[in-house]
Every structure is written in C-alpha cells, then in structure tokens.
C-alpha cells in the first residue's frame, strides 16, 4: 500500500498547538493519587508509634523500621500491579515509556524493601526475646498466621526479580520471561494476606483496614477489567480478523486487520497488544505499534526476530484477532510546535510512519530520519516514499553498520552509522533541523539507541517537553 490519502487532520487546516493541557491534567491526577496513598501509608506508621519506637532504640527500633519497610513495600507491590494493569489514569497520566520505567523501578524497590522488612523484623523480635535470629525466623514462618503463604509468595517474587535483571533477561526468550513474570501476580497474592492476620499497622484502625482492603480490591478489579474483560468485549464487538499478510523489507512483515462490524478508534503513533487466535501460544500478547494511519483497518509492521514476530508471517486471512488498547502517548496530542522531526530505528520506524500519515504539517515541515543496518531491511519504505512525494516529507535514511564508539568526535553519537563517524550527534540534529526550537521530536527504537538519541537532542538544545519517546522494554 503505497498511496497516501489525505488525513482528516491534514484537511482540517494548519496545526494549532494544543500545549499538552489534557496530558498535563492526567499527569497531575496520577501524581496526586500516588502521593496521597504514599502519605497515608506513612501516616499509618506514625500513628502506630513508629517514630517513638525508633527513638527508643533496641529491638523495638528494628521492629518499627521493619514495619515501615513492610508498609511501603506492600504499597509499592500493589502499585506495581496497577501501573501495568492499563488503568486509564496511569496510562494517560504517565505514558507507556514512563510506566515501563516506573514498573521496573517500583518492582526492584518493593523487592528490596520486602527483604529489609523480613530482616529487620527478625532482628527486632530476636533481640526482644533474646533468641537466635534463625530460630526467630523459623517461628515466624511456622507459627504466625499466613506466614507460610507469605513465604511461598516471597520465593516467587525472588524468582521473578532475579529473572528481571537485564543480564538474566538476555539469556531468556521473551515468551519464557513473560510467562515467568506473570508469577508476580501469584507472589503478590500470597505475600499480602498475612498483613491482615498478623500486621498491627494494617488492622489497628478501621481506616487502615478500609485502605488496604480497598486498594487490594481495586488492584484485582483493575487486572480483571482492563486486562481481561474490556479487551475481550471490545474484540468481540469489533470482530477483528486478519485480511492480509505482506512481506515488508528483507526481514519484516506487515499485517492488516479489519473489523467485521467496526474498527477500534486509535491515533497514529499508538500501539495495541495483539493476540492472534491461530493455535497454541495465542494467549501471549505482543505490543506492536500501528504502522499506518488508522481508519477502516489497522495495520502493524514488525521485524521477524523472535517467536512472537515470526508467527506473524504465518498468519492466514480470516484469523480472529484479540486486542488490548489503543495505548501510548506518542501521538499528535503531545505536539507543541509546528514542525516535526521523527527519528526511528528498525521496527521503531513503523509508528512514526502512522504519525506522519495522520498529522497536519506543511510540505518541508516534517523530517523523518531512519536507521537500518542495510537499505533492504527497511520497513515501510514504499509508504515513506509516498509521503515524500505526496506531502513533502524530508527523508534522511542513515543506513549501514553502527559507528565505532571511539574517539572524541563520535562521543555520545552511538545512534549514527559508520558513514557518519566524523559527525557529532548534536551537529547532525542541528543540520537536519536548523530551527530546532520550532520542532517536536518523536523517537522510537531500541532502548539503548533511544537513550543515545535523546542525549544528543538535549545537547542540541531540544527541551524535554518537546522530546517524545516510547519503549516497550520493562
């Protein structure tokens, strides 16, 4: 599909900056929710005599510090679930890129605080009772209500955390890691109930009990509603099916999906989590961005690199499709300027093409920079050529092997190919967009590559509010 139909946005006239007011409102709301709940947890600890116990010293101080770690860890564990449950206030308030970073950060912090909670409580109780810490730990596990369940949950969370370390992640297939990661839900479910049976901070006041029961119920409901019920209902309502599968570049594939009754509304630059009902393994969802302006059908494009993307090439027309979404804030709603600079690598070019097909801009006001190891590997090249012809997009392909990371001239420019090894990254950006203050910049690609691009954008003088990124890596 190489023709570019005029988009409704382009027909509506010149771009009028929205200033991101709606996104700012969602962001403020999400931040307020996080802070209010965090402060409430701290207030529970203070009202329970935590400060006095710490000042008193001795075993009570260890126990009080352990209680605080447990309260914060419990709050973070539940937020870890909520942050990835597709809850609208967090999805729209933080965006997918920030959510994935927060999910990882919250996960590790909750894990270490949970271990500190265990160690401090064991030390505190052992000091007060005058017993060996290992004997105290054994007593906790076997004699305290709910602790056997909590121990099993803790072991599961340790396994999930260990396999989430990046070095371990690289040794696992994405599908295997994703399946292991789901055990975090089981671990949280097993680790938390002991708090209402044995935790004084959770049951000391009616407000404490109401808070924890409400938060747990909301977390469970969010997973059921936003990850299961709504996607199933929407997919059934639209009756989505594959209509075509096409090769895209030397290592890519494009899949077109259409609804039998209607097609889900979406914006260029957004993504769905896709499940194709083509046989075993259909339950594993994979995030793929839209690669064309959404309208009568949805289109995704991907590099064939793993099991999830490889099975796309074998899809047959008529295959039923389940989707979650649309998600993502890398859309025209984030624009603040009149001009567009879009920088993508590999499969990251796909959402940038859908964004270019959807947004209004004058000829010459949009520049697309693409990075591929070889020209023949490029995705969506016919669509890009059509955008150049029909809408005056400036296309700068930076194809070829990666540049070496040696020498001062190339410091920090690891996103450039070897053919541009003599260039500094910020200089390349200012060459492509001399009036950089008028641009919004959208970046999509591998996380480390995006980090390098963003560093050079900042060095070139682009303000953070005008740099828009999206990453699916947790």
Indicate yes or no: pTM above 0.85: no
Amino acid 137: pLDDT: 83
Q: Tens-digit pLDDT profile for the chain (474 aa)?
A: 444 444 444 443 455 555 456 767 877 888 888 888 888 888 888 887 888 888 888 888 998 898 888 888 888 888 877 877 778 888 777 777 777 778 778 888 888 888 898 899 899 989 988 888 888 888 877 877 667 777 777 777 777 777 666 665 666 666 566 666 666 667 666 776 666 666 566 666 777 777 778 888 888 888 889 888 988 898 888 999 999 999 998 889 999 999 887 888 899 999 998 999 988 878 788 889 999 999 889 999 998 876 567 788 889 999 999 998 888 888 888 888 889 999 999 899 999 999 999 999 999 999 999 999 888 889 999 999 999 999 999 999 998 887 655 444 444 457 888 888 788 889 999 999 999 989 999 999 988 899 999 999 999 999 998 999 877 554
Amino acid 146: pLDDT: 67
Question: Which two three-digit tokens encode residue 147?
Answer: 């602790």
In whole angstroms, give the CA distance from residue 453 to residue 352. 15
In whole angstroms, give the CA distance from residue 196 to residue 149. 13
In whole angstroms, give the CA distance from residue 388 to residue 367. 10
Rg, C-alpha atoms of the chain: 25
Domain spanning 332-469, CATH architecture: 3-Layer(aba) Sandwich (3.40)
Q: Which residues, 6+ apart, have CB-to-CB distance to 442 below 8 Å?
A: 269, 330, 340, 341, 342, 343, 352, 355, 468, 469
323 in Cβ contact with 442 (< 8 Å): no
Count of C-beta atoms within a 10 Å radius of residue 52: 12
Count of C-beta atoms within a 10 Å radius of residue 202: 23
Residue with token string 């769905």: 272
Q: Is the peptide bond before 326 cis (omega within 30 degrees of 0)?
A: yes
Amino acid 34: pLDDT: 83
Mapped to the 3 state alphabet, what secondary structure does the chain carry?
Answer: CCCCCCCHHHHCCCCCCCCCHHHHHHHHHHHHHHHHHHHHHHHHHHHCCHHHHHHHCHHHHHHHHHHHHHHHHHHHHHHHHHHCCCCHHHHHHHHHHHHHHHHHHHHHHHHHHHHHHHHHHHHHHHHHHCCCHHHHHHHHHHHCCCHHHHHHHHHHHHHHHHHHCHHHHCCCCHHHHHHHHCHHHHHHHHHCCHHHHHCHHHHCCHHHHHHHHHHHHHHHHHHHHHHHHHHHHHHHHHCEEEEEEEECCCCEEEEEEEECCCCCCCCCCCEEEEEECCCCCCCCCEEEEECCCCCCCEEEEEECCCHHHHHHHHCCCCCEEEEEEEECCCCHHHCCCCEEEEEEEHHHHHHHHHHHHHCCCCCCCEEEEEEECCHHHCCCHHHHHHHHHHHCCEEEEEECCECCCCCHHHCCCCCCEHHHCCCCHHHHHHHHCCCHHHEEEEEECCHHHHHHHHHHHHHCCCCHHHEEECCCCC
Question: Which two three-digit tokens encode residue 274?
Answer: 């896709």
Same fold for the domain at 239-327 and the one at 332-469? no
316 in Cβ contact with 242 (< 8 Å): yes
Count of C-beta atoms within a 10 Å radius of residue 319: 19
In whole angstroms, give the CA distance from residue 82 to residue 214. 13
In whole angstroms, give the CA distance from residue 146 to residue 141. 8
In whole angstroms, give the CA distance from residue 150 to residue 155. 9
User: Would strands 467-469 and 439-444 be described as parallel, antiparallel, or unpaired?
Assistant: parallel
Fold of the 239-327 domain: Elongation Factor Tu (Ef-tu); domain 3 (2.40.30)
In whole angstroms, give the CA distance from residue 117 to residue 17. 49
391 in Cβ contact with 10 (< 8 Å): yes
Domain ranges, ordered by start, for the chain: 21-232, 239-327, 332-469
Q: Which residues, 6+ apart, have CB-to-CB distance to 439 below 8 Å?
A: 337, 339, 340, 341, 433, 462, 466
371 in Cβ contact with 346 (< 8 Å): yes
Amino acid 384: pLDDT: 96
Amino acid 12: pLDDT: 38
Amino acid 199: pLDDT: 59
Residue with token string 């121990």: 151
In whole angstroms, give the CA distance from residue 94 to residue 330. 11
Count of C-beta atoms within a 10 Å radius of residue 76: 21
Q: Which residues, 6+ apart, have CB-to-CB distance to 365 below 8 Å?
A: 338, 339, 340, 392
């Amino acid at each position: 599909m190489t023709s570019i139909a005029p988009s409704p946005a382009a027909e509506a006239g010149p771009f009028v900056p929205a200033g991101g007011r709606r996104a700012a409102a969602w962001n403020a709301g999400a931040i307020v929710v996080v802070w209010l709940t965090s402060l409430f947890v701290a207030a529970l600890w203070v009202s329970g005599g935590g400060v006095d116990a710490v000042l008193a010293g001795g075993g009570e101080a260890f126990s009080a510090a352990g209680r605080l770690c447990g309260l914060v860890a419990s709050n973070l564990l539940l937020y870890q679930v909520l942050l990835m449950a597709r809850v609208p206030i967090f999805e729209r308030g933080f965006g997918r890129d920030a959510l994935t970073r927060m999910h990882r950060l919250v996960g590790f912090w909750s894990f270490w605080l949970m271990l500190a909670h265990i160690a401090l409580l064991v030390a505190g109780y052992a000091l007060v009772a005058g017993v060996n810490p290992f004997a105290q730990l054994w007593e906790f596990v076997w004699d305290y209500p709910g602790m056997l369940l909590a121990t099993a949950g803790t072991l599961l969370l340790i396994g999930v955390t260990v396999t989430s370390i990046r070095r371990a992640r690289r040794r696992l297939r994405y599908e295997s890691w994703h399946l292991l990661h789901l055990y975090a839900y089981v671990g949280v479910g097993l680790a938390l109930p002991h708090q209402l049976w044995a935790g004084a901070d959770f049951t000391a006041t009616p407000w404490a009990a109401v808070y924890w029961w409400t938060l747990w119920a909301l977390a469970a409901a969010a997973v059921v509603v936003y990850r299961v019920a709504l996607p199933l209902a929407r997919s059934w309502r639209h009756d989505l099916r594959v209509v075509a599968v096409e090769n895209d570049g030397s290592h890519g594939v494009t899949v077109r999906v259409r609804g039998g009754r209607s097609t889900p509304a979406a914006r260029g630059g957004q993504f769905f989590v896709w499940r194709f009902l083509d046989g075993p393994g259909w339950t594993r969802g994979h995030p793929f961005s839209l690669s064309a302006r959404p309208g009568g059908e949805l289109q995704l494009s991907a590099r064939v690199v793993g099991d999830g993307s490889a099975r796309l090439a074998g899809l047959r027309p008529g295959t039923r499709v389940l989707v979650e979404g649309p998600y993502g804030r890398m859309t025209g709603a984030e624009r603040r300027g009149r001009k567009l600079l879009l920088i993508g690598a590999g499969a990251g070019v796909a959402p940038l093409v859908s964004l270019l097909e959807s947004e209004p801009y004058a000829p010459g006001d949009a520049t697309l920079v693409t990075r591929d190891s070889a020209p023949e590997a490029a995705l969506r090249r016919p669509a890009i050529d059509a955008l150049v012809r029909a809408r005056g997009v400036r296309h700068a392909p930076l194809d070829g092997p990666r540049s070496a990371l040696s020498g001062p001239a190339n410091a920090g420019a690891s996103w450039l190919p070897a053919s541009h090894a003599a260039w500094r990254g910020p200089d390349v950006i200012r060459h492509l967009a001399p009036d950089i203050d008028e641009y919004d910049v959208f970046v999509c690609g591998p996380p480390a590559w995006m980090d390098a691009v963003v560093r050079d954008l900042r060095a070139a003088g682009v303000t953070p509010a005008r740099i828009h990124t999206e990453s699916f890596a947790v």
